[in-house]
A and B are shown apart, each in its own frame.
Chain A
Amino acid sequence: MDQLTLITFLPLVGALLVLLTPASQEKALRAIALVTTLVVAVLGVQLYLAFDGSSAALQFLVDKAWFVLPGSAIPVRYKLGVDGLSILMVALTAVMMPTVILSTWGHVHKRVKEFMLWMLVMQTGMLGVFVAHDLVLFYFFWEVSLIPLYFIVGIWGGERRLYATIKFFLYTLAGSLVMLVAVIAIIYQFRTADIPTLCEQASSLALSKQVWLFAAFALAFSIKVPLLPFHTWLADAHTEAPTSGSVVLAGVLLKMGTYGLLRFGIDMFPGAALEHAPLFMALGAIGIVYGAFLAMAQTDVKRLIACSSVSHLGYVVLGMFALTYAGLSGSILQMVNHGISTGLLFLLIGMIYERRHTRALDQFGGIAATMPIFAFFLVFTVLSSAALPGLNGFVGEYLILLGAFQAKPLWAIIAVLGVIFGAVYLLMATRRVLFGPVTHEENKHLEDLNAREVVLMLPLVILAVWIGFQPKPFLDRTQGSLERLVQKIEVARGAQNASLEVPTTEESVR
């Protein structure tokens, strides 16, 4: 069996094993899930190491017949592959899952069997989204990956879990179904569902048609990211989800949105992307500041991190739509960084919640004294999230701001303000949790982190430092594909300038 099929569907095999194991065997169920995700992680790292970053071509290609649409005889194929745009996402998904599974030891005590089942199914769905290179296949993975999280939030979530899970599902579905019409339209327009072919040919469409298709795709992905006006589902979903659900949601699921914008927004419709880049940069930059203000006003720690997610994903969109090499590479790296830091934050909040059963900021204070190990990890993560030089967040944000400055200095300046606000709310929250006098009796006798909790965070912590000090190997993986993409954007820019005749502002910036 080829490598990509194996890595994508191995979790599903694990899910089948879970299904066949009796529900009373909780230890065995957890073990199956952990071992499966560990094997997938090893395969993911192997894939990452074997990947040639200097090439723009699809690698580890699998291409088999699946079915043929009747009448028009358009083949729909089982086509998998990775390129520079997706390799980091695949590796991230593979590496994060063992951590997620290990974290469930602490907070999933009921219906363990179903939980492990949905987690494993979700991993297949997420990996599938990143490796699918047939548009119909992609759409299958895209929509199916909704279902596991729907169950995870709905069964294991908090008080308002039903409201949150329906909101999450319907919001995302509305975007997806509008996208479905665009998917159908583009497939019948070019009589193929092959994504690389479509990416090549779609830029030849008339700009007016491109814009509509782009809008439909971008709507679906913007809701998933979520970009500014669509962000309300995220806070609810994050707050109500169990810790592991939040980690997967922030770590990987939201990246499906940004990845989609990159692959189907920019790569497929470069002309339309150029046309609308100012809008997206504005939404990104405003999202950064707005998310930061939202976060400042929160009293629930988990909601605070959810709002910070909105802010951080604003960077990703800002950098992406700067449409420069620096901005694009920074935004891909920032997707990974956000997964690591926000994932860690949710894990840490989950650990403290397991001990105190509250997430209200004013219930904490002075915990650094009773839980020094916890305090160390929290401070480390907050600094990584606030983009301290030497940690992962810095590299990504720097590249993004550089790229944005090259394209539209105004939005870069606004985004820099966001960096400051980001540091403010993160450090303020940290102070209120960790330092100061112990005001609540319960906080005096908290148990510090145990070995399992430390071990499960270590891979992410190591990655954060590694990316911070040596981002080049990670960035190099994206080089070939990004060079191809930037070249494509330049061609589109040239065509647009030629048609306008009058030199535009983009011209002078360059």
Chain B
Amino acid sequence: MNPQDLLQLFDDRALAAVAPLLALAIGIIVLLLSGVIRAFESLRAPIVVATLAFTGWLVASNFATVPGSVIDGTYIADRASSAWGLLFVVATLLAWLFSHRYYAESERPFQVEHDVLMLTTPLGMMLMAGAANLIVFFIGLEVLSIPLYALASFRRSRARSVEAGLKYFLLGAFAAAFFLYGSSLIYAATGSLQLAEIKAIGLHGPLALGGVALVMASLFFKISVFPFHLWVPDVYQGSPTPVTALMATGTKAAAFAFLINTMFMLPKSAALAVAVVALVTMALGNLGALAQTDVKRMLAYSGIAHAGTVLLVVAGTLAGDPESSGALHAALFYMGAYVFTAAGAFGLLALLERDGERFTTLEALKGLAQRRPFVAAALTIFMLSLGGMPLTGGFLGKWMVFSSLVRAGLIWPAVVGALLSVIAFGYYLRVVIALYMQPVSERDAALPSGQTSAGSAAPAAIAAAVCAVLVLVMGTLPGLFLDRLP
């Protein structure tokens, strides 16, 4: 290919489509440079915020103009991928806000590196969501994963954090290998890596199906679905809490975005199998969470259950949901609500950890409503939304997932799923009970309530408050979001 052709690939439309990616890349470089010069250190926060805000604006304008499929059909910037993109930007911004002053003194010198790594992740996520080609997706996956491996072990003085990073890295390497091997099998069977062409040719024969199985296994690993969910509790618990928030929301959303785009690879007859896998995931997640006393680990298990819930829309689509974009709508709204809810919940935990509550155990949360009513109220809203109570965004997400199943005629999976979410309330309510209905444990009452660095927590606190308000708005005025679904 001569350079002229290459230039032609990058016409105006293509430039608009990848503008958000370029903006992020430029922001990352500027941030790296600012780290070199001491005098510019104070510019760190403004650069991060400006980059994310500008990227968000570019994504939003893509949502309106829809550049479409570009660069020889390898990348798509349509309304769906732009909506996902917006989600990623928000998730990153929230995680970054919560990391503000989260780390101990000894970890502070590397704050710039931390921010660079964090700012790199949405770049990978957007590539994943917009990928129309298996290799583009793989690049996105790696651009996302490698910074996360480093971020997971960022508290390098803590054994747990290092363990989390190592575990995530080793298993992530397996998942990446699965994906590559699967892609090569699909290429062998169809002669193409382009999703559109693969769809047109169709996947038949054991070679192609083997490829699909491997690709799906790798995706299931990223969204933490049975039987590839075992890494989640350790990694989520060990990682720094803001990073956990990012992994739980952004990474999962990106993998789901691609899963929705590649659903067609699965044979229609797999509908029931997918439903069963999703329900088993929900059951294991919920039962696992029920046994936890550490809230962070509990939320990790609850994240597994939520992944199972969203996976149900794939089963619904395969079983013949008459609404063509039902799965996309449900996944987008569900993950949208989940981003604010889970990020908010993890963010509050980060806030508590930092303020000297030391532990994220249920024991430490006892009687918190008396000492810090706003934190308790916000955490309650998040718990109710995770459980799917009406008036919160979580409810409508659940509604849309179940309605996809019901429309497709999968009534029993819907009923079983509904009953499994009753179990979920068993542990979400335990948090509320600790907050409001139990007295402060004696061990904690003796300690001074560590409000030592109050004030500096403002960005994180405001972010959590905004999350709580948005969760309620999504539940009471869902039209604001539903009318804008792609």
Contact = CB atoms under 8 A, between A and B. Distances in A.
Interface of A: 66-72, 139-140, 143-144, 147, 150-151, 154-155, 161-162, 165-166, 169-170, 173-174, 177-178, 180-181, 184-185, 187-188
Interface stretch (B150-158, B207-215, B295-303, B322-330): B322-330
Contacts of A188: 403, 406-407
Interface of B: 323, 325-326, 329, 384, 389-391, 395, 399-400, 402-403, 406-407, 411, 414-415, 418-419, 421-422, 425-426, 429, 433, 436-438, 477-479, 482-483, 485
28 contacts: A67-B478, A67-B482, A69-B482, A70-B482, A71-B323, A71-B326, A140-B390, A143-B395, A144-B391, A150-B429, A151-B437, A154-B436, A162-B438, A166-B426, A166-B433, A170-B425, A173-B425, A177-B419, A177-B421, A178-B415, A178-B418, A178-B419, A180-B402, A181-B406, A181-B415, A181-B418, A184-B402, A185-B411
Given A67-B479, A71-B326, A154 B433 contact: yes
A393 to B, nearest CB: 36
A364 to B, nearest CB: 30
Contacts of B414: 181, 184
Contacts of A169: 425, 429
B477 A70 contact: no
B419 A184 contact: no
A184 B418 CA distance: 12
Contacts of B477: 67
Contact of A151 (B425, B436, B438, B485): B436
A174 B326 contact: no
A177 B390 contact: no
B436 A174 contact: no
Contacts of B485: 70
A28 to B, nearest CB: 18
A71 B418 contact: no
Contacts of B329: 70-71
A72 B326 CA distance: 9
A170 B426 contact: yes
A122 to B, nearest CB: 14
A417 B238 CA distance: 65
Contact of A177 (B325, B384, B422, B483): B422
A150 B414 CA distance: 26
A495 B362 CA distance: 58
A211 B323 CA distance: 26
Given A68-B479, A147-B384, 4 more contacts: A68-B482, A71-B323, A151-B437, A178-B419
A481 B479 CA distance: 34
Nearest to B420: A177
B329 to A, nearest CB: 5
Given A68-B482, A155-B436, A140 B402 contact: no
B399 A143 contact: no
Contacts of B403: 69, 184, 187-188
Contacts of B422: 170, 173-174, 177
Contacts of A187: 403
Nearest to A151: B436
A144 B419 contact: no
B415, B418, B438, B479: most-surrounded residue (chain A CB, <10 A): B418
Q: Which 6 A-B pairs have the closest CB atoms?
A: A67-B479, A177-B418, A71-B323, A140-B390, A154-B437, A184-B403
Secondary structure dominating the interface of B: helix
A278 B254 CA distance: 54
A72 B324 CA distance: 10
B481 to A, nearest CB: 9
Contacts of B437: 151, 154-155, 161-162, 165
A185 B437 CA distance: 37
A66 B479 contact: yes
A67, A70, A185: most-surrounded residue (chain B CB, <10 A): A70
Contact of A140 (B325, B326, B391, B411): B391
B110 to A, nearest CB: 43
A72 B482 CA distance: 12
Contacts of B389: 143-144, 147
B482 A180 contact: no
A181 B436 contact: no
Nearest to B478: A67
A41 to B, nearest CB: 26
Contacts of B438: 162
A162 B402 contact: no
Contacts of A166: 426, 429, 433
B389 to A, nearest CB: 6
A192 to B, nearest CB: 14
Contacts of A151: 436-437
Contacts of A155: 436-437
Nearest to A143: B390
A71, A143, A161, A173: most-surrounded residue (chain B CB, <10 A): A71
Nearest to B486: A70
A165 B400 CA distance: 29
A184 B401 CA distance: 11
Nearest to B482: A70
Contacts of B479: 66-68
B426 to A, nearest CB: 7
A184 B433 contact: no
B413 to A, nearest CB: 10
A185 B405 CA distance: 10
Contacts of A68: 479, 482-483
B328 to A, nearest CB: 9
A86 B402 CA distance: 30
Contacts of A139: 390
Contacts of B391: 140, 144
A180 B418 contact: yes
A68 B483 CA distance: 7
B278 to A, nearest CB: 15
B399 A184 contact: yes
A492 to B, nearest CB: 24
Contacts of A67: 477-479, 482-483
B46 to A, nearest CB: 36
Contacts of B436: 151, 154-155
A185 B406 contact: yes
Nearest to B329: A70
A262 to B, nearest CB: 22
Given A68-B482, A155-B437, A174 B325 contact: no
Contacts of A185: 406, 411
Contacts of A178: 415, 418-419
Contact of B433 (A140, A143, A162): A162
Nearest to A173: B422
A188 B437 CA distance: 40
Nearest to A69: B482
A107 B429 CA distance: 26
A455 to B, nearest CB: 32
A24 B421 CA distance: 39
Contacts of B384: 147
A154 B479 CA distance: 34
B407 to A, nearest CB: 5
Given A68-B482, A166-B426, A174 B419 contact: yes
A68 B438 CA distance: 41
